[in-house]
Amino acid sequence: MTVRTAPTHAVGAERLRAVRGMLDDAFDGDFSDEDWDHALGGVHAWIEDGRGVVAHGSVVMRRVRYRGRSYRVGYVEGVAVRADRRRKGLGGAVMAELERVIDGTYPFGALSASDEGAALYRARGWEVWGGRIQVLGPDGVVDLPEGAGSTFLRPAAGGVLPAPAAPLVFDWRDGDVL
């Protein structure tokens, strides 16, 4: 199967509707409008078969502050594989394309993984962030203890990851901030 990539504006309205439908199904209806909004505006990678979109993921730019410096990072969103095609390497193929985008564009990648998805990211060399997670919210910096253990980082090609000696402070967004 071929992994296709395109920025959001070039994916097309009909295919975006198909991606959203597959994500709604793959997440058993637990994929909100905010989750969908988070997956837009970057680069999408997807695979199709005769029944439509079978796998998808996107990488979007987010700002992360670390030790007083703001970094542009590639944040992975909306990764899922249709239920009837899971455990066949399709998620890994989509991630390989997203990692290629991260390698060429950002100093490192970040994502928030479900328990079910964490094994995929670990197997691909993503590392669990061992430090504190915060968000720069409308009322200032807020600790996100729920981000501990589910936030993964990956250095871009030849890059180095931040050390967990200081917190990562993510930019604010509606819905789930991670």
Mean pLDDT (whole number) for 88-92: 97
pTM exceeds 0.85: yes
Mean pLDDT across 18-46:
97
- Helix segments in 51-165, DSSP class H: 90-105, 115-123
Whether the pLDDT of residue 159 is over 90: the answer is no
Tell me if 26 is assigned to some domain. yes
pLDDT for the residue 19 = 98
95 to 3, 56, 133, 148: CA distances (angstroms): 10, 9, 23, 22
Q: Is residue 176 included in any domain, yes or no?
A: no
Report the share of the chain in percent with pLDDT over 90. Answer: 90
Q: What three-state secondary structure class fits 63?
A: strand
- Assess if residue 178 is contained within a domain: no
Domain housing 137: 4-171
Q: What is residue 150's predicted lDDT score, i.e. its pLDDT?
A: 94
Closest CA to 99 of 78, 121, 115: 121
Distance, in Å, from the CA atom of 149 to the CA atom of 131, rounded to the nearest integer, reads 9
Q: How confident is the model at residue 94 (pLDDT cuts 50, 70, 90)?
A: very high
Q: Are 123 and 91 in contact (CB under 8 A)?
A: no
Judged against a pLDDT cut of 90, whether residue 147 lies above it is answered with no
The alpha carbon of 119 is separated from its chain's Cα centroid by a whole number of angstroms, namely 14
The CATH number assigned to the domain holding 67 equals 3.40.630.30
Q: What is the pLDDT of residue 158?
A: 81
Q: Is residue 177 part of a domain?
A: no
116 located within any domain: yes
Count of structural domains within the chain: 1
SS3 state of residue 75: strand
CA angle 133, 162, 132 (to 5 degrees): 20
CA distance 26 to 37: 17
- pLDDT, mean of residues 112-121: 94
